[in-house]
Structure 1
Amino acid sequence: MSYEPPTPPASLPTEIVNTLNESTPERLRDVATYAEELAEHREREARLEKPADQDEVEEQPDDLPDDVPSKATITIKEINDNRYYYWQWREGEKIKSKYKGPVDSEN
């Protein structure tokens, strides 16, 4: 690891860079965790809002539970350093989730 501070991406506003530079390591780790979770949330929202191509036929997963709609996607949640799969789908304005199982650490 270099003894020089990292160079911020040019796309980051100066105000954010200054705030981060003044933050403690603990706060920086909290910001990093939040930013990663927020990015995953927004990507998931974009996938759920994207209209399905009618010409494209997707295979139905073999392990899709009866109470989970076919439009559901699988997402990974990290809880207390453990990772789990969840089915997620949109019902109106709400996002619904159903537990699928733990993420195998060997995959």
Structure 2
Amino acid sequence: MTADERPTPPTELDRVGHEALDELATREPAALRAASAYLEELAAWKESDDEDDPSPDDGGPATYPDGVPERASVSVTEIAGTEYYYFQWRDGDEIRSETVRR
């Protein structure tokens, strides 16, 4: 690539992603390298976070209790040697939660 050729942005991005890239293109090289390092770490974190999400395949709940939406986040908590599913979700402006023995 010569100094006159600007790299081609990835096609997988949506409108917001392309706007973010356009904004980053105005930054100095050091800022771009810092953003790149951060984005690599963020991608790795998101991949590991996806692996930690409970699901029926990895021991997570097969069904959600009545009144708990399937979009609720689920974590496993141990209290006094007993494991519980901790469901948490947003309902309008409120955050709701429910704890169920595993």
Normalising by the residue count of structure 1, what TM-score does the alignment of the two structures yield? Answer: 0.45
The structure with the greater share of residues assigned to helix is 2
Normalising by the residue count of structure 2, what TM-score does the alignment of the two structures yield? Answer: 0.47
Greater Rg, structure 1 or structure 2? 2
